[in-house]
Structure 1
């Protein structure tokens, strides 16, 4: 059974690699679609995080006078990580339905559709670092060995996001209400993730419960590395990777079970 499963996964990965040019083309198309019709176009990739950072800095340092040092930076680090996840999930949920005509006309690995959406979100995140890194320098944060954890944390988030994207995109083909419910669910999830607050304000018991949330592990790891200049807590790090891999395996398994009838349902 395990041998057959490994052979299947290998075969799917080989097929996806053969279609890598199509995947890259769809990622670029996804990015173009986000800013289609706007005057500034792709520049919004940089303008959005920059404006967000300026607004948060003004509100929390000048108006609310939050005592936490460099609070705008703290929140911005978490917000960029959250936006990668939320944008990838929300857009990928309906991607197969949106691309129904393509699904019906030609054969290609259907995984490419949710992967292209998540890929677009990852590129947006990487481009947002053009804003984050100078802001770190301005606030006196300089590269240390702990910054080497950033690619590993990003990989963990990508694995988790792809797993959920595969799961939700396949289910939405059959249950269209998921697309409408997802916005409310993500809003609740956002407040259960320590993006705009520190877990230190919670009691130890409640904080431990919040750490069961995989996105808490991602955000906390980014904050540890970039804000606190520490290495991520290894137990939290391993737990986050474990959950992410399980979600990816389950999401991919469900996707392969349901994709046989996509062309009939979209």
Structure 2
């Protein structure tokens, strides 16, 4: 218990640094851009339009309100992909500061995740506008959708801590992860309905953690059905395991970072 109180005290002490790092990431992302943070709205909208044109002709008879279906999955996956990819080199990119003064190194990894979560929450406005514009049904069950967003945030933090640690010692992981994230994208039933997958290949979805977060969020926003407790339990377990392993791996290896950055 004393150990966890110490962690909390350290986090509280350096919380201001985390807010500064997040603000820096937010300002840097669209620095020099004419539209600035509005790109957080236009990017998902433009991507959705392109993907809808490409895939809706194939699945228009299988999925009603296809743009909403597509955006529900694509927004969540984009957040996970962007935040974890940005966090991979967070320790390496902060080498100059880490070598000069002591600060909790995990702050540098959490900052890009939180900044991307800010952009992600802004982009959800596009989803709300799209639901209204397409007259897609809205039910009371949309109220539990934030639960899946917070669980995805926790899961992303854990994965990012692991990736940031591995990248310090093994720089090639950046290129390997690029291939892996592409495979996850096409194995998350984002562009297509999962029922078109033959039964003998359906297990591929069940081994993809992103599938559960996307499915839970779609159930709340798109399907408008009561919460699936089994799916929620899996998401909670994935988030908890990811955070625990990520924190343990990062804590165990962080003293060696200085030798490799």
Which TM-score applies when normalising by structure 2?
0.93
Q: Which 5+ residue runs of structure 2 have no aligned equivalent?
A: none
Distance (whole Å) between structure 1 residues aligned to residue 59 and residue 250 of structure 2: 48
**Shift of residue 197 of structure 1?**
1.6
Q: Is the 8 A contact 1:214 1:244 kept in 2?
A: no
**Is 2:148 aligned against 1:123?**
no
Moved more, 111-120 or 45-54: 45-54
**Is 2:36 aligned against 1:51?**
no
1:60/1:204 Cα in 2 relative to 1: closer, same or farther (>3 Å)? closer
1:97/1:133 Cα in 2 relative to 1: closer, same or farther (>3 Å)? same
- Provide the alpha-carbon RMSD of the alignment: 1.8
SS class of match (1:125): helix
Q: Which 5+ residue runs of structure 1 have no aligned equivalent?
A: 1-5
Distance (whole Å) between structure 1 residues aligned to residue 39 and residue 67 of structure 2: 20
1:205/1:64 Cα in 2 relative to 1: closer, same or farther (>3 Å)? closer
In structure 1, the residue matched to 2:105 is 110
1:261 to 227, 232, 256: 256
State the aligned residue count.
Answer: 260
In structure 2, the residue matched to 1:224 is 219
Distance (whole Å) between structure 2 residues aligned to residue 257 and residue 65 of structure 1: 48
Distance (whole Å) between structure 1 residues aligned to residue 203 and residue 260 of structure 2: 42
**Shift of residue 209 of structure 1?**
4.5
Moved more, 80-89 or 52-61: 52-61
**Shift of residue 119 of structure 1?**
0.3
**Shift of residue 143 of structure 1?**
4.4
Q: Is the 8 A contact 1:60 1:72 kept in 2?
A: no
Q: Is the 8 A contact 2:105 2:254 kept in 1?
A: yes
**Shift of residue 204 of structure 1?**
4.3
Distance (whole Å) between structure 2 residues aligned to residue 25 and residue 182 of structure 1: 28
**Shift of residue 190 of structure 1?**
1.0
User: Which aligned pairs between 1:205-216 and structure 2 lie closer than 5 A?
Assistant: 206-216=201-211
User: 1:161-188 CA deviation, whole Å, 9 max, x = no partner?
Assistant: 0000011101111111111211111101
1:153/1:32 Cα in 2 relative to 1: closer, same or farther (>3 Å)? same
**Shift of residue 46 of structure 1?**
1.6
In structure 2, the residue matched to 1:3 is none
User: 1:62-97 CA deviation, whole Å, 9 max, x = no partner?
Assistant: x55722211121011100000110001111011110
In structure 1, the residue matched to 2:60 is 66
User: 1:87-128 CA deviation, whole Å, 9 max, x = no partner?
Assistant: 011110111101110111121111111111110111111000
**Shift of residue 54 of structure 1?**
2.8
2:189 to 194, 214, 222: 194
**Shift of residue 53 of structure 1?**
2.6
**Is 2:140 aligned against 1:140?**
no
Q: Is the 8 A contact 1:163 1:252 kept in 2?
A: yes
SS class of match (1:232): coil
Q: Is the 8 A contact 1:92 1:117 kept in 2?
A: yes
**Is 2:160 aligned against 1:165?**
yes
